């Protein structure tokens, strides 16, 4: 039998084991009609990505579920892949070109795309290799990419289907525009950050009424150039008479109307709101209701577009300063009030985004949202925890049409073609030959590409071969569970749900398991700006992947954020060492023997107790994992291995192992190996590497990851033995408590009396005497029905069905203890006198901080309690 090395060194086993798993194809899932299918699709990380703690948590949770189901006998597919990350990748490639003295526009579209593919080939698999370091058991043979041939075919197919159904259209609506990246961006790519700014209060003169004006307050005075109305609430009595009047728009030669709209909050600001339909999404909707004109006053680079105006061509912020100065000079600036408010910025380049009206491609969402809403309300789709279903519903019930076009070159190019002769738009799989409208033969393809979310919304079925009717699609779809963070429920989860229902007629998954964020030790979100990020690869290098995984899952509850502490990583490493040392202890006692399973009658109560506990644990952990209670399941396995198995059972059987002639030694060895092997299986999904290494050292099997998951067995149900051993454990705990409270030296032995009128109770201690004596540090154990022969000064403790007595003289040297207690009494009296002196000192009370006074009061109370206990002990000794 193999003996593990003396020291557990993760770096020496993890890469070796992972390669072994890969070589043997253990991660690969086949279509097998004899097995039940289980499938998870990996949220595709960006090809620009670097593994961070969010990835580590997300993928650890998926790996736990897939390893669990694989061991249960499912054909378990964890479908991996990466996302082309249009904006992020384009930015990276442009930066690379700039360093080389080259320019995107000079290269042209085709050459630029060649550069993007080259970048993807060189760097795109970096995060995949990092996920492998984490132990991710994804089916890498099936790895996909959102722009591979199959996924691209799916994207084109969906676009055509939605267009033919009338769900995709091209129109002018308000979108998020990034002036630096020069593209529309999705709501998912807009971060709202608090920024210090101002409310500029401005007079809008009433036409025909000298000196009369309305006062508006705005955080963006430069946009007044695009105002087409001022709105008031129809129920606001202050402004009823104003509705229908015209206002002179400051700094322009235009007049705009006062309109009434319930959108306006009378309590906010002045109750009068400037309406700029082309540069605010709410104003856009107001403008549609009142048929207001839409005036775009910004160029794509966020400079002012207002021909004939002195501000034309100015940067938006330069124009703001100039306009405020001119308003003040014209007597139209009432006041400037500091105001902190949330500002939308592009999450990539941190540029403040501009809402702008632009002709773009959109998806109508109203009809597709309905079945997605119904799926949750019917219970067909479930969120864990359930509360996140509300987030899902709130977003869907208020959903707007989805802008899917992006002004980028890297991505899925929109399959729309414009006739050069008449401008007809034709949506088709390939460029048409003849225009059905004018008969022309010259076409140009739409320059825009599709939003990255459009392709990732198809991920659960496009990765399985759809739109082709592949065996994988028929067998693994719908998938089972999606694991993701709460921050992208409405950006990705919702899109997958409505896309799955619309294109396949089925939900893409039945359960969405939501996890929180990994924060730093102070509870802050990890970020580059704060410099508080923790590199998972650094943790793996120092402590191993298992320690990182255990840290991330300890105390983990669905939907809740967690804090990362290095102390937890140390504790996780210590747990791994505990397992390693327990396995070495078993191996060294086994030697070359592999004991056969004994008959139940050959097992001692402590053997049957630990098997009973493991059997119960198996049932509970399986139920926890099936309910996605991963943190709870882990804690139960952790507690069993550390406490029940290592701290109790191993210590219980040591006397039998030390005696080579003990007839029950083989039963103890079989139980040790069997229990640890089964416990390792329960732990394997959480800590795959150490469980594999230790399991293979104890068992002649190929791998723990393809061994069957433990199940509850009636042959390991021993409630009477379990209760008996628990009673003995209670006695040991009480003895240890007594010894600790009396500062008894660890090596000091004492006589122990167990008194009970119940003969069955005494019999249980007789059967456990070999280990009870050792664990209780007993020089001798006496079992009797009454207190005969027990000295009056004996220390006692109560356990169910019995009393424990220990002669005081066996625990301490009475005379020395009297001297020690006398010294301690004097010390405590002195400390109390000192504290009293300070607490009666008026100068101290007047000048000292409140927390220092409170600390002194707390100290005095503690000394008082300690003194009381010392005096009780002295009294008991007759001092």
Binding-site members for ATP are 528
Assign residue 411 a region: left if phi > 0, alpha if psi is -120 to 50, beta otherwise? left
Tokens found for residue 344: 């939308």
Tokens found for residue 118: 């080259």
Whether the Cβ atoms of residue 741 and residue 103 lie closer than 8 Å to each other: no
Reduced to 3 states, what is the DSSP secondary structure of residue 450? strand
Whether the Cβ atoms of residue 216 and residue 201 lie closer than 8 Å to each other: yes
Instruction: Please give the Cα distance from 686 to 637 (Å, whole number).
Output: 10
C-alpha radius of gyration, the chain, whole number? 37
Helix, strand and coil in the chain, % to nearest 5? 50, 20, 35
Whether the Cβ atoms of residue 61 and residue 633 lie closer than 8 Å to each other: no
Q: Using CA atoms of 214, 218, 224, 228 in order, give the dihedral in degrees to the nearest 10.
A: -60
Instruction: Please give the Cα distance from 550 to 583 (Å, whole number).
Output: 19
Whether the Cβ atoms of residue 232 and residue 265 lie closer than 8 Å to each other: no
Give how far the C-alpha of residue 570 lies from the chain's centroid of Cα atoms, to the nearest Å: 21
Whether the Cβ atoms of residue 728 and residue 799 lie closer than 8 Å to each other: no
Provide the edge-to-edge strand list for the sheet that holds 402-403: 183-185, 168-178, 354-363, 402-403
Residue identified by tokens 């007789």 is 766
Compute CA distances 788 → 756, 761, 782, whole Å.
12, 18, 11
Q: Using CA atoms of 827, 828, 833, 835 in order, give the dihedral in degrees to the nearest 10.
A: 120
Instruction: Please give the Cα distance from 482 to 493 (Å, whole number).
Output: 8
The closest of 6, 60, 69, 41 to 689, measured between CA atoms, is 60
The closest of 661, 701, 694, 658 to 676, measured between CA atoms, is 694
Whether the Cβ atoms of residue 351 and residue 276 lie closer than 8 Å to each other: no
The closest of 11, 26, 42 to 75, measured between CA atoms, is 26
- CA torsion sign for 458, 462, 466, 471 is negative
Q: Judge residue 455's burial from the number of C-beta atoms within 10 Å of its C-beta, 0-12 exposed, 13-18 middle, 19 or more buried.
A: buried
Instruction: Please give the Cα distance from 258 to 773 (Å, whole number).
Output: 93
Whether the Cβ atoms of residue 471 and residue 483 lie closer than 8 Å to each other: no
Any idea what DSSP says for residue 237?
G
Q: What are phi and psi of 299, to 5 degrees?
A: -80, 175
Give how far the C-alpha of residue 317 lies from the chain's centroid of Cα atoms, to the nearest Å: 39
Q: Using CA atoms of 719, 725, 729, 732 in order, give the dihedral in degrees to the nearest 10.
A: 160
Instruction: Please give the Cα distance from 842 to 854 (Å, whole number).
Output: 15
Q: Judge residue 398's burial from the number of C-beta atoms within 10 Å of its C-beta, 0-12 exposed, 13-18 middle, 19 or more buried.
A: exposed
Residues comprising the binding site?
528
Instruction: Please give the Cα distance from 132 to 55 (Å, whole number).
Output: 12
Tokens found for residue 731: 């006695």
Give how far the C-alpha of residue 60 lies from the chain's centroid of Cα atoms, to the nearest Å: 10
Reduced to 3 states, what is the DSSP secondary structure of residue 82? strand
């Amino acid at each position: 039998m193999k003996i593990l090395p003396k020291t557990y060194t993760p770096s020496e086993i993890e890469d070796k084991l992972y390669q072994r798993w890969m070589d043997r194809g253990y991660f690969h899932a086949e279509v097998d009609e004899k097995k039940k299918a289980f499938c998870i699709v990996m949220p595709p990380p960006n090809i620009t990505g670097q593994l961070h703690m969010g990835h580590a948590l997300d993928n650890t949770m998926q790996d736990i579920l897939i390893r669990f189901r694989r061991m249960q006998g499912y054909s378990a597919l964890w479908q991996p892949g990466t996302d082309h990350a249009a904006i992020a990748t384009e930015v990276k490639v442009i930066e690379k070109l700039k360093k080389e003295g080259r320019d995107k526009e000079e290269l042209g579209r085709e050459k630029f795309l060649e550069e993007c593919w080259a970048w993807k080939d060189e760097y795109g698999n970096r995060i995949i290799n990092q996920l492998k370091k984490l132990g991710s058991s994804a089916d890498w043979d099936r790895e996909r990419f959102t722009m591979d041939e199959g996924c691209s075919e799916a994207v084109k197919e969906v676009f055509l289907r939605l267009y033919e159904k009338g769900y995709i259209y091209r129109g002018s609506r308000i979108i998020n525009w990034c002036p630096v990246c020069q593209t529309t961006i999705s709501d998912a790519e807009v971060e709202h950050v608090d920024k210090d700014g101002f409310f500029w209060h401005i007079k809008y003169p009433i036409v025909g009424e000298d000196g009369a004006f309305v006062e508006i307050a705005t955080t963006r005075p430069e946009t007044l150039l695009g105002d087409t109305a001022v709105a008031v609430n129809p129920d606001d009595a202050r402004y009823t008479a104003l509705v229908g009047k015209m206002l002179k728009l400051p700094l322009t030669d235009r007049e705009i109307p006062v309109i009434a709209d319930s959108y306006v909050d009378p309590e906010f600001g002045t109750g009068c709101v400037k309406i700029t339909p082309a540069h605010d999404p709410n104003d856009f909707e107001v403008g549609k209701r009142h048929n207001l004109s839409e005036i775009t006053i910004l160029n794509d680079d966020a400079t002012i577009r207002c021909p004939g105006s002195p501000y034309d061509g100015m940067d938006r912020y330069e124009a703001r300063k100039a306009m405020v100065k001119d308003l003040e000079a014209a007597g139209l600036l009432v006041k400037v009030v500091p105001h902190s408010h949330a500002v939308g910025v592009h999450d990539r380049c941190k540029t403040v985004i501009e809402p702008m009206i632009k002709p773009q491609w959109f998806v109508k969402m109203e009809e597709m949202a309905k079945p997605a809403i119904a799926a949750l309300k019917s219970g067909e789709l479930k969120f864990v925890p359930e509360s996140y279903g509300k987030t899902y519903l709130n977003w869907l019930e208020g959903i707007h049409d989805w802008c899917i076009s992006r002004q980028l070159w890297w991505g899925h190019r929109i399959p729309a073609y414009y006739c050069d002769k008449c401008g007809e738009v034709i949506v088709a799989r390939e460029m048409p030959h003849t225009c059905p409208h004018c008969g022309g033969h010259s076409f140009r393809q739409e320059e825009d590409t599709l939003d990255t979310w459009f392709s990732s919304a198809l991920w659960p079925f496009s990765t399985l071969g759809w739109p082709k009717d592949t065996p994988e699609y028929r067998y693994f779809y719908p998938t089972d569970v999606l694991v993701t963070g709460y921050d992208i429920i409405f950006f990705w989860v919702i899109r997958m749900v409505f896309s799955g229902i619309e294109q396949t007629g089925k939900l893409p998954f039945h359960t969405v398991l939501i996890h929180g964020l990994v924060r730093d030790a102070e509870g802050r979100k990890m970020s580059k700006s704060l410099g508080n990020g923790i590199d998972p690869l650094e943790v793996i290098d120092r402590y191993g992947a298992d320690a990182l995984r255990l840290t991330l899952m300890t105390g983990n509850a669905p939907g809740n954020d967690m804090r990362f502490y290095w102390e937890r990583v140390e504790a996780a490493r210590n747990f791994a060492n505990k397992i390693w040392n327990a396995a070495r202890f078993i191996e060294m006692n086994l030697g070359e023997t592999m004991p056969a399973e004994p008959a139940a009658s050959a097992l001692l109560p402590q053997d049957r107790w630990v098997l009973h506990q493991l059997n119960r644990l198996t049932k509970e952990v399986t139920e926890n994992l099936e309910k996605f209670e991963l943190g709870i399941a882990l804690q139960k396995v952790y507690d069993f291995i550390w406490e029940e198995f290592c701290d109790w059972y191993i210590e219980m059987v040591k006397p039998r192992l030390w005696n080579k002639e003990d007839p029950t030694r083989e039963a103890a060895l079989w139980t040790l190996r069997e229990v640890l092997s089964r416990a390792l299986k329960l732990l394997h999904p959480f800590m795959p590497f150490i469980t594999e290494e230790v399991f293979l050292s104890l068992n002649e099997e190929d791998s723990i990851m393809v061994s069957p998951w433990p199940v509850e067995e009636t042959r390991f149900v021993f409630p009477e033995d379990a209760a008996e051993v628990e009673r003995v454990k209670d006695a040991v705990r009480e003895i240890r408590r007594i010894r600790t409270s009396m500062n008894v030296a660890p090596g000091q032995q004492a006589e122990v009396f167990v008194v009970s009128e119940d003969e069955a109770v005494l019999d249980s201690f007789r059967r456990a005497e070999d280990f009870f004596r050792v664990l209780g540090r007993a020089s001798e154990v006496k079992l009797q029905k009454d207190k005969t022969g027990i000295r009056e000064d004996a220390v006692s403790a109560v356990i169910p069905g019995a009393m424990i007595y220990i002669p005081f003289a066996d625990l301490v040297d009475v005379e020395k203890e009297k001297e020690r207690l006398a010294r301690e009494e004097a010390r405590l009296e002195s400390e109390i006198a000192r504290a009293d002196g300070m607490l009666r000192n008026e100068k101290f009370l007047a000048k000292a901080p409140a927390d220092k006074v409170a600390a002194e009061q707390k100290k005095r109370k503690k000394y008082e309690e300690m003194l009381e206990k010392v005096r009780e002990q002295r009294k008991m000794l007759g001092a």
